Amino acid sequence: MHYSDSGIYPTHKSKSLKAQSKRRFKIIAETGNWFNYITHHWSIHKKIGSGYILSIGIAILGTGVGLMVGEYYDDKGVEQFRIAQQRYTRIDHLEKAVWQVKFNQQKLIISSQKNELQPQDIKQLQASIAEANNQLFLLKYNLKDYHTLPEDYATDLKTFLQVCDREVDSYTQLLESLLQKVTIPNPTKKDIAAREQILQEIVNGKQGARVEQLSQTLEKLVDSTGVQEKQAGATFRRAKVLRLTIIIMSMVLSMAIAMTLALYTSRAIARPIKAVTKVAKQATQESNFELQAPVTSDDEIGVLATSLNQLIQQVATQIRELKQAQAQLIQGEKMSSLGQMVAGIAHEINNPVNFIYANLSHANDYTQELLEILQLYQQYYPQPEPEIKNRIEDAELDFIGEDLPKIISSMHTGAERIRQIILSLRNFCHLDESEMKQVDINEGINNTLLLLNHRLNPGIEVINQYEKLPLVECYPAQLNQVFWHIITNAIDELISHHQLLCDPQILIQTKLVNGQQVEVRIRDNGKGISPSIQEKIFDPFFTTKQVGEGTGMGLAICYQIVEKHQGKIQVISQLDQGTEFVVTLPIQNR
C-alpha cells in the first residue's frame, strides 16, 4: 500500500532535512563564534587588514585550486587522448604491415605458380613479416598496462597479440626453410620436393588461412580502437569543459566566500559602532543615563564603548549629585527661611514674654504686700462698715487671697514654658553657626521632641533612654534635621497604623561606643519596612508616601549629612516588628 493511497505521508524526509538545516546553522554559528573568539583582542586596523588579506587570499587560493584541479583533469584527458591516438596509430601500422605480408605472400604464390619463384620474393615476404613483428613489438610496448582499457577490448587484444606472436614466429621459420631450399645451387629431387611442399603449405595450407584470420581480427581491433579514440576525444573535450567549469566555479565560489567574509568582517566592525552610536544618541536625546553600550571586543571600539559607558556613568553620577545638591540646597533654604522666620517670631515673642516674666516677680511681691495689708486691716478692724462687709462677701476675698498667688505662679510657669520653647527654636535652627561646634546630642534630641510635641498624639509614648555623653563636634542645625526627619517618619508611621497598634511608642536611646563614637537609636513599633524598600530607602526622590505628602529627599539628606560628619546611618527593620534607625557619629571630626 502506498502512503498516498492511505492518506498518510512520510515525514522522515522532512525531519532529516530540518536536522540537516539545524546542523548547518550550528556549524555556521560555531564558526562565527570561533572567528569572534579569535578576533576578540584584535585592533580595528588588524581586523580590516586581515579581512582584506583573507578575502584576497581566499579568492586567489580558490582560483588557484580551481586551476590546479582543472589542469589535473585536463592533463588526464589529454594523456588518455594521446595514449588512445598512439594505440590507434600502432594498430593501424600493424594492420598495414599485415596487409603488406598478405601482398608479398600473394606475390610469392603467383611466382611459384609460374615457376618463377626467386629468393628475392621470399626476402620481401620476410621483410614484411619483420616489419609486422616490429609494429607488434611497438604495440605491445604501448599496451603495457591493460587495466586502463575496457575489459572486453583488453582481453581480445591480449589474445590477438599472443596468437600473432606465435604465427609470426611460425611463419618466419617456414620462410627461412623455404629460402634455404630455394637458394641451393644444385637442388636434388628431394630438395625440390621439400620446396614444393613448403610452397604448397603457404599456398593451400593453414598458414595462409591463419594470416587471413589475423588480418580480419586486426580489422575488428582497428574499428574498436577507432571507437575508443573517439571516446577518448569526447572525454578530452569533456575534460576541457570540466576544466573551464571548475575554474569558473572555483572563481565564483572563492569570490562568493571572499565577499561573504568581507561582508561579515565589515558587519563585525560596523555592528559595535552602530550599537555605541545608538546608545550615545539615545542617552543624549532621552536623557537616559542608565543605558550602557555593549562591550564585545578589546579593540578601539571596545575601548570607545568602555569610555562612553564611563562617561555616561559619570554624567549620571554628576546629575544625581546635582539633584541631591539642589534638593539639599532647597531644603537648606527652606530651613534657613524657616529659621529666620522662627528667629524673628521668637525675637518678637521673646521681648514681651521677657517683659511679662520679669514683671511677674514684682507683681507677685506687690500682691503679697496687698494681701498682707488686707490681713492687717481685718485683724485691727474686724467689724467694718456694712457696705464694705457686703462687698468683701460678694468678692469672696478669702478665695481671692488663696487663688491669686496660684494664678501668678501659673503665669510664671507659662512664661517659663514660652521662654523654653523660644530657646529650643533658636537652638534647633542655629542659623548663626557655619562652623562645627561641640554640642550635647541629648539636648538636640530634646529640642526636636519639644518642637514635635504638637504631633505626638496622646496615644504615642516617647521613651528616652539617654546615657551621659561627651560633647560632639558637629553642625548642630544639620544634625537636628536628621533627628527631625527620623522622628517625623516614625510619627507618620505610627499615625498611619494607629488602628492596628495597641500601644504605639517611640524609643530613643543614646550611648557611648568605644569611647570615640556616639550612637543614637530611634525605634518605633510600627509595621516595619520590606527588604525591597530598605535597599532604596536612602535614594534621592524615593518615597512610599502619597503624592503631595513627601518629596523623598528627607532620608537622602539625612544620609548625606551623616556622611558629611564621617558617620554612618543604617536601617534595621522587619515586617510587623517595627523599624529602627541607627546613627553613629564620631566625637571628634578629623
Listed in sequence order, the residues at least 6 apart from 573 whose beta carbon sits closer than 8 Å to its beta carbon are 528, 529, 534, 579, 580
Spatial contact of 490 and 456, defined as CB atoms under 8 Å apart: no
Structural domain spans, the chain? 1-39, 42-263, 289-432, 433-590
Neighbours of 242 (CB within 10 A): 17
Q: What is the pLDDT along the chain (590 residues), one digit of tens a residue?
A: 444 444 444 555 555 655 666 665 566 556 556 556 566 566 666 667 776 777 677 777 767 776 777 677 777 767 766 777 777 777 777 677 777 766 776 676 666 666 666 667 667 767 777 777 776 777 766 666 545 666 666 666 666 666 666 666 666 655 556 555 555 555 556 655 666 666 655 555 555 556 666 666 666 666 666 666 677 677 777 777 777 777 777 777 777 777 777 777 777 777 778 888 888 888 788 777 777 877 777 777 777 888 888 888 888 888 877 776 776 666 666 666 666 666 667 667 777 877 787 777 888 888 888 888 888 887 887 777 788 778 877 777 778 877 788 888 888 777 777 777 776 666 665 544 557 888 899 988 988 888 788 777 767 889 999 999 999 998 888 888 889 889 988 888 888 876 666 788 899 999 999 888 999 999 998 888 888 887 788 777 667 665 455 566 678 888 888 988 889 999 998 888 889 999 999 998 77
Amino acid at 280: A
CA-based torsion, 184, 185, 187, 193: positive or negative = positive
CATH class of the domain defined by 433-590: alpha beta
Helices (H), 114-205: 119-142, 151-182, 189-204
Grid coordinates representing 56 are: 584576497
**Burial (CB count within 10 angstroms: exposed 0-12, middle 13-18, buried 19+), residue 446:** middle
> How far is the C-alpha of 559 from the C-alpha of 565, rounded, in Å?
10
Grid coordinates representing 132 are: 609486422
| Residue 3 φ/ψ, nearest 5 degrees | -65, -40
Listed in sequence order, the residues at least 6 apart from 582 whose beta carbon sits closer than 8 Å to its beta carbon are 519, 520, 521, 568, 569, 570, 571, 572
| Closest C-alpha to 372, from 408, 405, 410, 394 | 405
End-to-end CA distance of the chain: 98
Listed in sequence order, the residues at least 6 apart from 113 whose beta carbon sits closer than 8 Å to its beta carbon are 203
> How far is the C-alpha of 111 from the C-alpha of 153, rounded, in Å?
39
Collapsed DSSP state (helix, strand, coil) of residue 571: strand
| Closest C-alpha to 545, from 470, 584, 489 | 489
DSSP assignment string, 48-64 = HHHHHHHHHHHHHHHHH
Collapsed DSSP state (helix, strand, coil) of residue 286: helix
> How far is the C-alpha of 283 from the C-alpha of 308, rounded, in Å?
10
Q: Indicate the CATH number of 42-263 among 3.30.450.40, 1.25.40.80, 1.20.120.1730, 3.40.30.10.
A: 1.20.120.1730
The maximal CA–CA distance of the chain, rounded, in angstroms, is 227
Collapsed DSSP state (helix, strand, coil) of residue 519: strand
Place of cell 636434388: 188
